Amino acid sequence: MPIEVGPNWYIYSMHFTAIITTPINIIGVLIILFCQKSQLASLRWHLLTFQICSLTSDFFINIGTLPVIYSPFPIGRPHGILTHIFQFLGFQKSTEAQCIMVFVSLYITAGSVELLFFLRYQIILPMNHKHKLSTFSSVILVFLYQVFLITMMIISFHYAVPDQEVAKAQFARLYPELQYLIIDEHVYFVCVIVELKHALFLASCFLRLALGLATVILLIWLSNRSLHRFDLSVKTRKIHLQLIKSLCYQISIPIVAFYVPLLAVIGPLMFSIPNTQSEFFQIIFFISLIFCSLHTFLGTLSMMYFNRHYRLWLISTVKNKSFTTTLPTSKFLVAKDNASRIASAMF
């Protein structure tokens, strides 16, 4: 059965999900910004960082690149707006740049999760603890760690990906009946024949996932141990436990929603599973890509549901059709309004 170059139902579905998910994700950012709960004061900016990073990775996948992969071959073409932007700017290696941007955005999102739990652990520690770091030092430490991981990923990516002209010639020689897949210069070959270097690159990506999960689990355990080890009030301990629990739910749902469908995408590509170009497998393949693009959307919904403060604030705001904020801009507007009233009273 021939491989479909660009199924319209898949591209339209990605556009439709972007229309639905983008407003919800932006609402999630607004909820974090405008919800005035003292219990969330130490969490607001850390959670906002994660939400923005996750929103950015969602944009690159769903709108920016919109990848169409020619399963069972690790070959594909982007159909997102970044292709048109790079083409307008005359950038020659636009598809390679988009691949790297997607990987970097995912790595940064994983780093923001680690930063979120690391800062939560640091807040729990008492001031005189030997492992206590300032917020600035914590951010710098996590930042340098992420720079190292991203640098190693980019190096392994460049080592694994072949020269595109050579790869196209090799593919045309091995699969002359599939030359129609090479429709233009934006078609990108990760590999033609899976070699050790490609397996190593894939292993490095899964190693990053394993490191992230291990780091988060360790930080959750350390935070829980610190809550029961140090002298804290019952109310403070309860608040910290509730926040950690809601964070675990909020993070775990998008992780499962992204990586489980991703396995259905990577499996046929890396292990050359036969008969995956059939219509049934192609539908499963593209549906998995659509589910991958929903990770931020599901994370935002889980934040609204599992975080009681955000949930109650959202319900109250919808009922009252108004919201308040402690942001500096609102203080400026209040001061301006008060000055106007004073001027009116004087005259």
Residue 3 lies in a domain: no
CA atoms within 13 A on the CB side of 154: 15
Is there a domain that residue 2 lies in? no
Within-domain flag for 1? no
| CATH number, position 265 | 1.20.1070.10
- pLDDT (tens digit per residue) in 301-317: 888 888 888 888 888 88
Is 287 inside a domain boundary?
A: yes
Query: Based on C-alpha coordinates, what's the Rg of the chain?
Result: 24
Buried b (16+ CB within 10 A) or exposed e, 32-64: bebbeeeebebbbebbbbbbbbbbbbbbbbbbb
Residue at token pair 């990506």: 205
Q: Is the peptide bond before 72 cis (omega within 30 degrees of 0)?
A: yes
Q: Is residue 214 part of a domain?
A: yes
Q: Identify whether 190 is part of a domain.
A: yes
pLDDT of residue 4: 64
Residue 329 falls within a domain, yes or no? yes
In-domain check, residue 46? yes
- pLDDT at position 140 is 92
| pLDDT band at residue 347 under the 50/70/90 scheme | very low
Tens digit of each residue's pLDDT (9 = 90 or more) over 47-100:
888 889 888 888 888 888 888 888 777 888 888 898 888 888 878 778 888 889
Domain of 272, in residue numbers: 8-346
Question: In sequence order, what are the beta bridge partners of 69?
Answer: 76
Please tell me which residue, 265 or 44, carries the higher pLDDT value: 44
Cβ-contact 105, 52 below 8 angstroms: no
Q: How many domains does the chain have?
A: 1
Q: For the chain, what is the mean pLDDT?
A: 81
